Amino acid sequence: MYIEVRNAVKQFLCKNPAGGDEKFVTVLGDVSLSIERGEFVCLLGPSGCGKTTLVNAMAGFEKLTSGSVVIDGETVTRPSPRYVTIFQNYGLLPWRSVRKNVELGLESSGLTPEERDVTAERYLKLVNLSAFAEQHPCRLSGGQQQRVAIARALAVNPEILFMDEPFGALDAITRYKLQNDLREIVRRECKTVVFVTHDIDEAVFLADHIVVMEPNPGRIRKILPVKLSHPRVRNESGFVELRKEIFREFFHVSDRSIEYFI
C-alpha cells in the first residue's frame, strides 16, 4: 500500500470557556485508511470532522497524538519535497510574477535559471496560463491564481498532491472548469491525490474513492468506490445514484426525502 494511515488519533488541549481546567478534545479518533499509488481520493465531510487535520498529518504538518502515517514504506515525521500541499488561499507571493511564483520551489533544486524557466513554462502551459507569465497575482482572477498554485506544485514533480479545499472560494462556473482541468492534469502527470472537500458533487466528479467522514470525534463513516468512467456527467444515472447514497449516509433520509435536499 502506498499511503497508510494507522490508528490515527489527534487530540488538542483546549481551554474551558466557562473557566476551570483545560481539557483534551479529540479531533481524530482511531482513523485508519489505505490509498494506492495513482489514486484520487476525496476526504468528504462536514466542518469539524477532521478532514484538514488528517490531510495535514499525511503531509507532515501535524503530529499525531498516537498512530502513524506511512508513505511508500517510510513513516511521515515532517513535510517532504516528495509531496506538496495546495491550500484554498493560493499562497502566491504578490511581489513575484506568475513565472517567478511557479519557479519558487525550483530555486533550491540545483537547476540553472534557464532550466527553471523551461520547467515553469511547461507547467504554465499545462494550466493554460503562458500568456500571463509576466503578470503579478493581483492581476489574475481567483481561478487563475489557483492555477498558478497548481503549476507551482507540479513544477517540483511531487509524487503526491495534498489539496485542502482548493476550489472552496471560487464561483460555481470556475470551480466546475478547474475540477475538469485538475482531473485531466492529474491523469497526464500520473499523480496520487488526496483532496479535502465538503462538496458532495465535487467528490463524486473527481474521486476514485470517497472517504465519508463524520465528527465528534472525526472518524471514517464509510469508504465508497466511484466506478464511473471519465469524463463524468453530473446528470447521468450513476452519478445521481452515488450522490443519493452519500446523502443517505449524512442525513439518514429515505429516497423520497432526498429529493428535498438535491
Among 15-29, 76-90, 101-115, 189-203, whose mean pLDDT is lowest?
Answer: 15-29
pLDDT, greater one: 250 or 163: 163
Mean pLDDT of 182-190: 90
Check residue 249 and give left, alpha or beta (phi > 0: left; psi -120 to 50: alpha): alpha
Mean pLDDT of 139-168: 93
pLDDT, greater one: 19 or 151: 151
Q: Is 74 helix (H, G, I), strand (E, B) or coil?
A: strand
What was the pLDDT predicted at 253? Answer: 46
Q: What is the pTM of this model?
A: 0.90
pLDDT of residue 78 exceeding 70, the answer is yes
Per the structure block, which three cell numbers stand in for 191?
Answer: 499523480
What are 79-120's pLDDT values in tens digits? Answer: 998 999 998 888 899 999 999 999 998 988 888 999 999 999
Share of the chain above pLDDT 70, in %: 94
Residue ranges per domain, the chain?
Answer: 3-82+160-258, 89-157
Q: What is the CATH number of domain 3-82+160-258?
A: 3.40.50.300
Q: Which residues contact 59 (CB under 8 A, 6 or more apart)?
A: 76, 79, 83, 85, 162
What was the pLDDT predicted at 261? Answer: 52
What was the pLDDT predicted at 95? Answer: 96
CB–CB of 40/62 below 8 Å? no
- Identify any residues that bridge with 194 across adjacent strands, giving them in sequence order: 41, 162
